[in-house]
Amino acid sequence: MKDITLVVENAVKTYGGVTALADGNLAVRSGEVTALLGANGSGKSTLSKILTGVVSPNSGRVLIDGAPVFFRSPVEARRMGISAVYQELSLIPDLTVAENIWLGHEPLRAGFMNHGEMKARTQSLLDLFSGMLKPNLTPDALITSLSPDERQIVEILKALSYDPRLIILDEATASLDSQQVNRLFELIGDWKTGGMAIVFVSHRMEEIFRIADKASVLRNGRTVGERTISETNERELVDLMIEGANALLRERAAVVPVDAPIRLDVQELRTAVLRGVSLQVRDGELLGLGGLQGQGQSDLLMALFGAIRYSGQIVLSGMPRQFKHPKQAMRSDVALVPGDRGTEGLLAIRSILENLILPSWDRYGVPLKMQKARADGTQIAAELKMVMASLHAPVSSLSGGNAQKVVIGKWLLRSPKLLLLNDPTKGIDVGAKAEFYHLLTQLRDAGTAILFYSSDDDELLGLCDRVLVLHDGEVSAELTGNTLMRENLVAASMGAAS
Amino acid sequence: MNGRLSRTFSRNPFVFSLILFLVLVVINRALQDNMFELGPLNGNLRVFIPAIFLAVGQTFVIIAGGVDLSVGAMVSMTSAILATQIPQEATADVFLRALLLAFGAGALAGTLNGFGVTVLRLQPIVTTYATSFIFAGIALAILPEPGGRLPRDITSFWRNPLQVTTEIGIPIGLIVITLLVLFWIIIANTRYKQFLFATGGKAEAAYTTGIRVNRVKFTTYLFSALFATLAGMAIVFGTGTGNPRAGEQMTLLSVVAVVIGGTRLSGGQGNIIGSIIGALILGIIGNVLSFANLDSWVRPLIDALIIIIALAIPGLISLGRRMWKP
């Protein structure tokens, strides 16, 4: 493979009146993993889109092997050997895995599609992740039938199918479980020795220290520093990302409330995925749910919220319940913060206020009490420190972290007694996470019972008093006190008895 | 097995319309004894050809996420052009020139639609609804009243193109359907089909993958115009005369045929074979109703019922699956 060096100098990009990137700089070369860091809205997505030709900078230069280049489309960037794994997935839902991977560069025979060749090559790409994929993930599987982690892997393989010299991984690990991440990192190691240059965008500090050689940090659209990973530490990078903020990692409760009333008692809950789960949550307890992706954590939360069918016994606030619809769960003061904020949680083109009061219309609707709604909305926005133009701006104008605050805010307006969180911090930046952790501990201390699923082990270890690890639809371990350690969590995730 | 079955259905939704089609054929046969004799078969299929052409063209546009509401007006325009340009004593030269003119006009019309949608970025419904008035106006300007008479050679050729014997030819409808299916099989094995489905499935994703989404959309309007011209041609050749309002009722029927055929109205999924079946279904419904001697107001009612059923079936199936699962 031909070596590559790519340099971005003083790149500027504005959308309308908004400056997304004020002074972006980056230098990458073959055999090196460069981490691109920054809080949400710091411009790293824009910078990586400039590299891939999706957007053109207003000014500044991109140099490849010393020569200035100007990409007008993703195709031109790809011709120079640059391909990207996008955060907003670039897969077509109704096409198959093979069709998606080879879209636009299908193997041809005499001008016609060579389906056999296409399937064979897809299979050999899938084999890179063999053992980590469900057997239904074949070249012929439709994207709609795949889970988020499988889609993410297909996306990675799609970028790889171009045999790039430079690959950009934009939050490529966000949906993967730890086993899949490990495999990806092994592959990245291979690519490095093969002479590929890698740009790695991630919110997970631990991953950056595992895989990157150097880190380039963006803040408010400017590149504010570049560090060699072996000569820096987490603290320094976080300080660079968020000026002077104290990112906290640990806020574990001092007291586990053993005598508080039991808010939720679940016995033998079964769904299509769950195979008999029992658990109890007390008021003022933050119970974590851990494990690999898709082991039934989402199913558990959805069942408790009445969003999917289940069998088993649920006792909430001392009363047996059988929720058939989220409406019933909401009436019993249960709230669910969904994982996929874009598709499940928010109406993107409607205003922030409308989104906030959507679940609470019973309180503001008849008679119409918009004054009160606005006052409550303003208060919750202030509590959550939302950064926004006004309550009437559309949700689509917010950054990822702030959009997630709207999802949480709309449920907090109902002051729930039981809060269900479905991987709420996925893809939000360190600063917003810190605020979110703080909020969670506040809620817990105020007596809310919280059931918290996270795919980030550090979060569970840092925040929760007790963690249930799910594996294959069953609770494989209950970790608390001294047993709540990373080794046990990882072991139980893999289904090993601790 | 289950997965494979549901994949077959989700990728080939026309399976349902095929079942509907067979049921209707049986009903039709019960009402019309000689249905499968060559004469009536040929006659029936020939009448269905224009609708089949329109449905095929419309399928391209709808798969790519648009819709073409000007196809009926293009049929009228073609009818007017051919009827005025081919006199009864036309020579081969004159005939070919007329065809060239008709297809040229069709290509221009398709270009206009494609321009509106991709360059001006107007909504497909708005663009093609607006242009339909232009094309309808042109048709009436060329040929204000129904008229014109084509050489007998053309109409008799169209009735029996492969003259195996003078009595029984291979029905032109079967020839057209076979050619269209072949055409689809060829298209389905090219990159173009992938681009088409990607554009309609998720245009932004297709764009970031490097597909020239606008170019793909543009070509669908050209296809649609080409097939509308063929439809107009089929009507003129079949009747031997021109009508500047020939396509007036045909636009929505073409959309309906596509929908019955299992192509998703929002794009990204579909099949030309389904649309052909959809057009045949609509044709046979007309046949059945005329043989059943029902009042004319019954026809739209039954059309509506069929459309609703065709649209609802996939939803009902997934509903059933959800209810059935624990």
Beta bridge partners of A197: A166
- Measured CA to CA, the distance from residue A69 to residue A73 in angstroms comes to 12
Instruction: Mean pLDDT check: name the lowest of A294-308, B80-94, B153-167, B226-240.
Output: B153-167
pLDDT of residue B42: 78
As a whole number, the mean pLDDT across chain B is 87
pLDDT of residue A177: 83
Do residues A237 and A353 share a domain?
no
Tell me which of A136 and B318 has the higher pLDDT.
Answer: A136
Quick one: closest CA in A to B187, which residue? A112
Count H helices and E strands in chain A, helices first: 17, 22
Tell me which of A147 and A367 has the higher pLDDT.
Answer: A147
The contacts of residue A426 (CB under 8 Å, 6+ apart) are A174, A175, A339, A455, A456
pLDDT of residue B317: 66
CA atoms within a 13 Å half-sphere pointing along the CA-CB vector of A268 = 3
Beta bridge partners of A251: none
DSSP state of B267: S
Residues B60-75: what's their mean pLDDT?
96
B67 pLDDT above the threshold of 90: yes
Residues B39-67: what's their mean pLDDT?
91
Residues A171-190: what's their mean pLDDT?
89
Residue B6: inside a domain: no
Residue B233: inside a domain: yes
B190 pLDDT above the threshold of 80: yes
Nearest to B197 among A89, A95, A272 (CB): A95
CB contacts, 8 Å: B205 with chain A: 89-92
The Cα of B251 is separated from the nearest Cα of chain A by a number of Å equal to 27
Per the structure, how many domains does chain A have? 2
Beta bridge partners of A269: A277
pLDDT of residue A244: 43
Tell if the CB–CB gap between A272 and B326 is shorter than 8 Å.
yes
CB contacts, 8 Å: A108 with chain B: 191
A331 pLDDT above the threshold of 70: yes
B182 pLDDT above the threshold of 90: yes
> Does A348 contact B at CB distance below 8 Å?
no
Residue B120: inside a domain: yes
pLDDT of residue A31: 92
A468 pLDDT above the threshold of 60: yes
- Measured CA to CA, the distance from residue A473 to residue A404 in angstroms comes to 28
Q: If pLDDT is split at 50, 70 and 90, which confidence band does A251 have?
A: very low
Do residues A209 and A326 share a domain?
no
Do residues A408 and A483 share a domain?
yes
Span A117-134, pLDDT tens digits = 999 999 999 999 988 888
Residue B223: inside a domain: yes
CB contacts, 8 Å: B185 with chain A: none
Tell if the CB–CB gap between B7 and A140 is shorter than 8 Å.
yes
Quick one: closest CA in A to B198, which residue? A92
Quick one: closest CA in A to B324, which residue? A309
Beta bridge partners of A23: A222
Nearest to A103 among B3, B10, B209 (CB): B209
A-interface mutation test, from B63, B202, B265, most A Cβ less than 10 A away: B202
pLDDT of residue B210: 84
Which residue type sits at A74? P
- Measured CA to CA, the distance from residue B43 to residue B58 in angstroms comes to 24
Residues A327-353: what's their mean pLDDT?
78
The Cα of B318 is separated from the nearest Cα of chain A by a number of Å equal to 14
Tell me which of B294 and A478 has the higher pLDDT.
Answer: A478
Residue B16: inside a domain: no
Place of tokens 């030709």: A53
B185 pLDDT above the threshold of 90: yes
CB contacts, 8 Å: B190 with chain A: 111-113
What would the two tokens of residue B301 be?
Answer: 């009612």
A189 pLDDT above the threshold of 60: yes
> Does A95 contact B at CB distance below 8 Å?
yes
Residue A472: inside a domain: yes
Residue B26: inside a domain: no
Angle between helices B2-11 and B14-31 (to 10 degrees): 70
Residue B278: inside a domain: yes
Do residues A52 and A196 share a domain?
yes
Which residue type sits at B46? R
Tell if the CB–CB gap between A74 and B207 is shorter than 8 Å.
yes
B216 pLDDT above the threshold of 70: yes
How big is the A-B interface in CB pairs under 8 Å?
75
CB contacts, 8 Å: A158 with chain B: 209
Nearest to B191 among A52, A113, A271 (CB): A113
- Its domain, for residue B213, covers 44-321
Nearest to B205 among A91, A136, A272 (CB): A91
Longest alpha-carbon distance in chain B:
73
CB contacts, 8 Å: B267 with chain A: none
Residue A394: inside a domain: yes
Tell me which of B311 and A200 has the higher pLDDT.
Answer: A200
Q: B148: helix, coil or strand?
A: coil
A-interface mutation test, from B190, B194, B265, most A Cβ less than 10 A away: B194
A188 pLDDT above the threshold of 70: yes
CATH number for A23 = 3.40.50.300
pLDDT of residue A68: 92
> Does B4 contact A at CB distance below 8 Å?
no
Span A413-459, pLDDT tens digits = 888 899 999 888 776 766 777 778 888 888 888 888 999 998 877 78
Tell me which of B326 and B159 has the higher pLDDT.
Answer: B159
Asked, as a colleague might, if the bond just before B244 is cis with ω within 30 of 0, I would say no
Which of A155-169, B15-29, B253-267 has the largest mean confidence?
Answer: A155-169
pLDDT of residue A427: 66
Instruction: Mean pLDDT check: name the lowest of A4-8, A187-191, B10-14, B232-236.
Output: B10-14
Residue A466: inside a domain: yes
pLDDT of residue A247: 39
The Cα of B53 is separated from the nearest Cα of chain A by a number of Å equal to 25
Residue B67: inside a domain: yes
DSSP state of B132: H
pLDDT of residue A405: 81
The proportion of chain A whose per-residue pLDDT surpasses 70, expressed as a percent, equals 91
Residues B222-226: what's their mean pLDDT?
97
Quick one: closest CA in B to A91, which residue? B205
Do residues A299 and A227 share a domain?
no
Do residues A224 and A290 share a domain?
no
- Measured CA to CA, the distance from residue B282 to residue B147 in angstroms comes to 27
Kind plus residue range of the DSSP H or E element containing B165: none
How far is C-alpha B242 from the chain's CA centre? 20
Residue A257: inside a domain: no
A-interface mutation test, from B208, B269, B271, most A Cβ less than 10 A away: B208
What are the respective helix, strand and coil percentages of chain A, to the nearest 5?
A: 35, 25, 35
The proportion of chain B whose per-residue pLDDT surpasses 90, expressed as a percent, equals 52
Do residues A226 and A287 share a domain?
no
- Its domain, for residue A16, covers 5-241
Alpha helices in A107-218 (DSSP H): 115-126, 148-160, 178-193, 205-211
pLDDT of residue A257: 62
Tell if the CB–CB gap between A89 and B195 is shorter than 8 Å.
no
CB contacts, 8 Å: A93 with chain B: 201-202, 268
Tell me which of B103 and A256 has the higher pLDDT.
Answer: B103
Strands (E), A424-481: 449-453, 466-471, 474-480
Residues A262-282: what's their mean pLDDT?
90
Which of A47-61, A235-249, A272-286, B52-66 has the largest mean confidence?
Answer: B52-66
Instruction: Mean pLDDT check: name the lowest of A86-100, A114-128, A243-257, B235-249.
Output: A243-257
pLDDT of residue B284: 87
Do residues A224 and A75 share a domain?
yes
> Does A112 contact B at CB distance below 8 Å?
yes
CB contacts, 8 Å: A142 with chain B: 7, 10-11
Instruction: Mean pLDDT check: name the lowest of A8-12, B123-127, B208-212.
Output: B208-212
Tell if the CB–CB gap between A104 and B210 is shorter than 8 Å.
yes
Tell if the CB–CB gap between B326 and A271 is shorter than 8 Å.
yes
The Cα of B311 is separated from the nearest Cα of chain A by a number of Å equal to 18
Nearest to A92 among B7, B198, B210 (CB): B198
Quick one: closest CA in B to A271, which residue? B326
The Cα of A484 is separated from the nearest Cα of chain B by a number of Å equal to 34
> Does A441 contact B at CB distance below 8 Å?
no
Beta bridge partners of A487: none
Span B243-296, pLDDT tens digits = 999 998 899 889 989 988 888 888 998 889 999 999 998 888 888 877 777 777
CB contacts, 8 Å: B209 with chain A: 74, 90, 103-104, 158
> Does A140 contact B at CB distance below 8 Å?
yes
Residue A253: inside a domain: no
Place of tokens 């500044």: A60
pLDDT of residue A248: 42
pLDDT of residue A461: 83
Do residues A215 and A275 share a domain?
no
Quick one: closest CA in B to A72, which residue? B210
Residue window 134-153, chain B: list those with CB within 8 Å of chain A: none
Tell me which of A111 and A404 has the higher pLDDT.
Answer: A111
Q: A62: helix, coil or strand?
A: strand
Residue window 197-236, chain A: list those with CB within 8 Å of chain B: none
pLDDT of residue A345: 67
Per the structure, how many domains does chain B have? 1
pTM: 0.73
Do residues A306 and A224 share a domain?
no
The proportion of chain A whose per-residue pLDDT surpasses 90, expressed as a percent, equals 31
- Measured CA to CA, the distance from residue A485 to residue A495 in angstroms comes to 16
| Angle, alpha carbons A459-A462-A463 (nearest 5°) | 80
Do residues A398 and A362 share a domain?
yes
- Measured CA to CA, the distance from residue A488 to residue A95 in angstroms comes to 40
B167 pLDDT above the threshold of 60: no
Q: B9: helix, coil or strand?
A: helix
The contacts of residue A136 (CB under 8 Å, 6+ apart) are A145, B3
Do residues A232 and A312 share a domain?
no
Quick one: closest CA in B to A55, which residue? B208
CB contacts, 8 Å: A112 with chain B: 189-190
The contacts of residue B204 (CB under 8 Å, 6+ apart) are A88, A90
Span A341-362, pLDDT tens digits = 555 567 778 888 888 888 887 7
Residue window 214-273, chain B: list those with CB within 8 Å of chain A: 268-269
